[in-house]
Structure 1
Amino acid sequence: QVVFQIDLIPGAAPVAWAPYRLAPPEIKELSEQLKELSDKGFIRPRYHQLRVREEDVLKMAFRTRYGHYEFQVMPFGLTNAPTVFMDLMNRVCKPYLDKFVIVFIDDILIYSKNKNEHEEHLRTILKLLKKEELYAKFSKCEF
C-alpha cells in the first residue's frame, strides 16, 4: 500500500492560491455577466492571428488531394489556442487586472465607481489593446 502525504510546515502559506477569491454569490454574478458578454462577444477573436513558432509549423501540416498545407497562424479549434490567447490577454491587461478589469479569454469586463472613472479605464484598456493590435468590435460592446 502506498501512502501519499505532504507534510506542511506549521504556519506555512499554501502553495497554490485561487487567482480570484470571490464569495459564491459574487462568482455567480460574475459568471452571469461574463456569459452575457460572451454571448455578444466583446472583442474579435485573435487566436487565429497568433503566429505559430517556426519550429512548430511542421507539426500542424496537413495534406489533401489539392496539395500540402502548413498553418502559419494558430487555427480555431487548436487545443491550446484559447490558453495562448488567454495568456496574451493576461499579459496585456496585467497592470490593471483586479483593479478595474477582469479578462476571460476574449471577454473583457471593465468596472468603475463612476462615469468619469469608467471613461478613463475604458480609454486605458483600449489603448493597451491597440498597442497589441487587438481591436474591440463596437457592435459587440456593451456600455
Structure 2
Amino acid sequence: MLERLAGNEYYCFLDGFSGYFQILVDPKDQEKTTFTCHYGTFAYKRMPFGLCNAPGTFQRCMMAIFHDMIERTMEVFMNDFSVFGNSFLTCLTNVENMLKRCEDTKLALN
C-alpha cells in the first residue's frame, strides 16, 4: 500500500465516521451480540467495536463498496481513506468519485 501511495504528488485523507456502527447486523445474528446490564438485556442492531471479526468484516465491506477504486485511486485502512493522484485535478476528481460512492452507499465520513 505504501508503495502505491508513494508515487503520487497529491493526497487527501478522510476519516470514516464510527465505521463499524454503519454496518447492520443480520437480524438472525443479533442475538449473538446480546449483553446484560442494570438497565436490561440488549442486542446490537449495528456492528459494535470489539467483536473479533469486526475489523475483517468492515474491511470486506469497504472492498465491496470501493472495489474498482482501491489500488488505482484510493486505499482503505480500517476506517481511514487515502485518495491520491499525480495532479491536483486528478486527485480532486478521485475525491469526488469517492465521495459520490459514499453518498450512494450512505457511508458517512467525519
- Residue 112, structure 1, aligned to residue 94, structure 2: no
Write the deviation string for residues 69-122 of structure 1: whole angstroms up to 9, x where unpaired. Answer: 111111111111111111111111111121111111211111111011111111
Within the candidate set 73, 84, 87, 1:100 is matched to: 73
**Number of matched pairs:** 103
1:52-131 alignment runs, 5 A limit: 52-131=25-104
What SS is found at the alignment partner of 1:78? coil
CA distance in 1 between counterparts of 2:37 and 2:17 reads 30
Report the residue type matching 1:100 in the other structure.
T
Question: Which structure is larger by alpha-carbon Rg, 1 or 2?
Answer: 1
What SS is found at the alignment partner of 2:63? helix
> Comparing both structures, which one devotes a greater share of its residues to strand?
2
Q: Which runs of 4+ in 1 moved over 6 A?
A: none
Structure 1 length-normalised TM: 0.63
CA RMSD, Structure 1 to Structure 2 (Å): 2.1
What SS is found at the alignment partner of 2:42? strand
CA distance in 2 between counterparts of 1:118 and 1:64 reads 48
Structure 2 length-normalised TM: 0.80
Identity of aligned residues (%): 25
Q: Which runs of 5+ in 2 are unaligned?
A: 7-12
CA distance in 1 between counterparts of 2:108 and 2:40 reads 34
Larger RCO: 1 or 2 (CA < 8 Å, sep 6+): 2
Q: Which runs of 5+ in 1 are unaligned?
A: 1-19, 30-36, 138-143
